[in-house]
Amino acid sequence: MALAAVGTVLGDSQKYQLSSGIKRYTLMDLGFVKTGNGNFQLERPLDPNSPYTNANKLRVTVKADLSAFQMAVTTPNGLKAIDIFKTDKTMDNVEQYNYIIQNLIEREVLAPVTD
């Protein structure tokens, strides 16, 4: 998956873009880490009960110049994108996903795309 101006995760109807107010220090405050090529990456488990269990993950990567990003919900090992919205079994994951996304919106990292 390539970095783009607009992104969403598999199964989510809402699309997001980077906020016009995004700052590098905000990314670092939120737990984004710098990758080897200078991008910023956030990985958060979607288990609402424990951040230490082997759970599905939300991964958000922001380009080093803050011009593009990608996001995905992956399996615990991070190798395959999955749709957490299609089964009732993963509704706890959806709730945690929405909480993390809302935090990213409030901190002006992401902004919902309105059509």
Token digits for 40?
């910023």
Q: What is the mean pLDDT of residues 13-40?
A: 95
Q: What percent of the chain has pLDDT over 70?
A: 98
pLDDT value of residue 1: 58
Instruction: Return the exposure string of 76-107: e unless at least 16 CB atoms fall within 10 Å of the residue's CB, then b.
Output: eeeeeebebbeeeebebbbebbeebbeebeeb
* pLDDT at 44 > cutoff 90: yes
pLDDT value of residue 97: 95
Token digits for 113?
């795309």
* pLDDT at 102 > cutoff 80: yes
Measured in whole angstroms, how far is the alpha carbon of residue 21 from the centre of its chain? 17
Q: What is the mean pLDDT of residues 62-85?
A: 94
CA distances from 104 to 9, 16, 86 (A): 15, 11, 23
